[in-house]
Amino acid sequence: MNGRVRSLVLAGVLQFVPFAARSQGLNTSAIDQTLGRSGQKAGEVYRVGFPRTDLHVTVEGVPVKAGLALGTWAAFSGTDENATVMGDLVLLDSEVNPVMEKLRSVGFEITAVHNHLLGETPHVMYMHYMGHGGAAQIASSLKAALAVSKTPLEKPAAPAPEPATPPEWVKTVNDTIGRQGTFRGGVLSFGLARSEAITEGGMPLTSPQGVAESINFQEAGAGKVATTGDFVLTAEEVNPVISALQEHHILVTALHSHLLTEQPRLFFMHFWGHGDTTSVATGIKAVLSHIAIK
């Protein structure tokens, strides 16, 4: 059964599942036990991260923090008996096909494999995936696939306490963009929801499932920041966004799909900016003016 048919079948099954059964949600503690770490609940989605803290990646001489561009993640939704997991894996070139083989052997769909960065050392690839089944089963299958790579699977250490007052560059970025991001682990992150509803195989998708405008910043020297992430765009938005990025000297590093049957059709544009804090943030603000966000 191909991916499109499988998604349509799943959507059809969900139509006949009583609402009370669907609303029971997930036993997140069972997922935590299987994966060996806890995640964050956002609405009906439970998202768990596996940052590639083992990698030491640089771009233009900037050491890339895991929270900037090296965050493997998994978003679970549904019920314990009928769950979906989707996400993005950060992999070295040598890890891509062994991990893919492991995922496909248990029926996971691979929805994209591509770059997000340009000129990074070492080179990294990104694999988007989707799996269906019992929550514990698909969590176990995902962990087994990650074990084929060098992704750290042990329980992460407690994060260092955040400063009582964020660095001045954080305030500069927030004020310039006109929104408040989340500052954690030296990275300022924005996740901005699109204004329209998005579905995949008839299932509604929410921001934690990878359909938000994802924009990250980190300090990159005195008075400078680096920014990367991905803009989630409709076809009509793609080229205006490219022009806005170019006008502000922010590089387009990739343009591609992450999903297979989403509605409306979406394109994911990755970018890299490095320079004066105000100038880079002004460029991102200009881009957002071309995107339908809430």
pLDDT of residue 164: 86
Q: Identify whether the C-beta of residue 162 lies closer than 8 Å to the C-beta of residue 226.
A: no
SS3 127: strand
Sheet holding 109-114, edge to edge: 40-42, 45-51, 71-78, 83-92, 124-133, 109-114
* Amino acid identity for residue 249 in this structure: H
The neighbouring-strand residues paired with 130 are: 86, 109
- 18-65 pLDDT, tens digit each: 333 334 689 999 999 999 999 999 999 999 999 999 999 999 999 999
Query: Stretch 147-165: mean pLDDT, rounded?
Result: 90
pLDDT of residue 157: 84
Q: Is the pTM of this model over 0.75?
A: yes
Class of domain 168-288: alpha beta
Domain ranges of the chain: 3-146, 168-288
How far, in whole angstroms, is CA 174 from its chain's centroid?
21
Asked if the model's pLDDT at residue 5 lies above 50, the reply is no
- 201-243 pLDDT, tens digit each: 889 999 999 999 999 999 999 999 999 999 999 999 999 999 9
